[in-house]
Chains A and B, each alone.
Chain A
Amino acid sequence: MLASILVLASDAATTATELLDQAAGEAEAVKNPILPTVNEMFWAAIFFIALWALMKFVLLPRITKVMDGRTDKVRDDLAAAEAAETERVAKLEQYEAGLAGARAEAVAILEASRAEGDAERRTQIAAAEADVAAARAEAAAEIAGAKDRARSELTGSITDIAVGAAEAVIQKPLDRAAQGRIVEDYVNASGQN
């Protein structure tokens, strides 16, 4: 009994093994085209890792060095440009401050010159007016002298004519000195009117 069971089990095992081998063979024959294959994975890994190593140690350093160099150069140039701009602004402010000082100084000089000119003008006007006044006083004195002389001469002449005429009318001599004073008083009174 036990022997027959063992024989049956052995037959079943053999059959199962044959069926499994057959199934594996069929599965191998119908490969899924979507699943990855070992050889393609192997070469993809080899070539990618090779590229990665080359990129890390050979290819990228040259490129990034140049790119970093250019970035540094651009940054330095920008910093230099900013410094130059700052310097330009400072110089402009300094120039504008100097210009404002010069303008103020020019205005002060102008004002001083104008004040000096005004003072000089006033001095010269005063001097001229003084000269004019002196000349006018001198002329007035001369006129007064001439007038006195003329009046004196006129008084003498009128006295002579009047006394002569009166002596001719009354046929006697008159006191010339007394008549002379009367005529003089008259002429003076007439001159005042």
Chain B
Amino acid sequence: MIFGLEFPPIENLVEWPNLFGPTDSWYGFNKIALINLVALVATTVLFLLAGRRKTLEPVTNAPKGSRNLVESAVGFIRDGIIVETIGVDGLRYLPFLASLFFFILITNIFEVIPFFHMPGNARMAGPAVLALLTWVYFIAVGIKHQGLKYFWNSVAPPGVPKALLPLVVPIELLSTFIVRPFSLAVRLFANMLAGHILLVTFTVLCITLWGASLLLAVLPFSFLMLVGLTGFEIMVAFLQAYIFTILASVYIGSSMHAEH
């Protein structure tokens, strides 16, 4: 209890019991796994609706409804992220980056969806998996484009004087292969967890004020703050998906050419 508020323990905010599977098993399916599954299903359904034959033909028609939504999002990822950070050569990585964007966006948006009220990425597992996959992916792209010289080019960029290499190589090694995946995961996780805790805090405050007598007058302000923060979290959900995707795109682009 803090200042009269019954604030739940942090475990109660982020840990969920398994819906099936034994506790602590490697395949235990809990609320976070359900949110990830819904992200997969929702994205698939949205794209299938947008890709129905009757909505696709003729191509000259202006897109409407789900097709408009999906085309706008794909156009945003293609032209606003990939072409801007990699160039047209990077369009082949659209499936991976679009998957990242939609998966993160939808798992994040569960923060404000009734009965869920939990962003999937407020648990470290999701961001860690996505960051690890991105890490493996941009290393694979580097090896594909530059061969094994990619590793040396990454830690010793061309043009660096040899005298500086003892300083630059450890920094680049740490920056490229350790800090990148770690920062990707922690940024997404920390932002979503902070937003989740903020919303829980104001919700608990509203509930507590509802039962208060004198302090009931404060309730409208607290409630308005809760509503405002809910809107803010929707923006954060989109923003974090965008940031994760654009950074992944930058890392992939930097792996394609030694001069990056």
Contact = CB atoms under 8 A, between A and B. Distances in A.
Contacts of A193: none
Contacts of A48: 36, 40, 99, 103, 129-130, 133
Interface string B174-201: 0000000000000000000100000000
A111 to B, nearest CB: 57
A67 B71 contact: yes
Nearest to B14: A33
B26 A69 contact: no
A51 B44 contact: yes
Interface string B7-31: 0001100110010010011111110
A34 B39 contact: no
Of the listed residues A33, A36, A43, A44, the one surrounded by the most CB atoms of chain B closer than 10 A to its CB is A44
Given A39-B25, A40-B30, A60-B47, A50 B56 contact: no
Contacts of B15: 33
B250 interface: no
B40 A51 contact: yes
Nearest to B31: A40
Nearest to B26: A38
Nearest to A56: B95
Given A47-B39, A51-B103, A69-B59, A63 B70 contact: yes
B112 interface: no
Size category of the binding interface on chain B: 35 or more
A70 to B, nearest CB: 5
23 contacts: A36-B125, A39-B27, A39-B28, A39-B29, A39-B33, A40-B33, A40-B126, A43-B37, A44-B33, A44-B125, A44-B126, A44-B130, A47-B36, A47-B39, A49-B133, A51-B43, A51-B103, A54-B40, A56-B96, A60-B74, A60-B94, A63-B71, A67-B74
Given A35-B124, A42-B26, 4 more contacts: A40-B32, A58-B47, A59-B51, A60-B47
Interface of B: 10-11, 14-15, 18, 21, 24-30, 32-33, 36-37, 39-40, 43-44, 47-48, 50-51, 56, 59-60, 67, 70-71, 74-75, 94-96, 98-99, 102-103, 120, 123-126, 128-130, 133, 193
Interface of A: 31, 33-45, 47-52, 54-56, 58-60, 62-64, 66-67, 69-70, 73
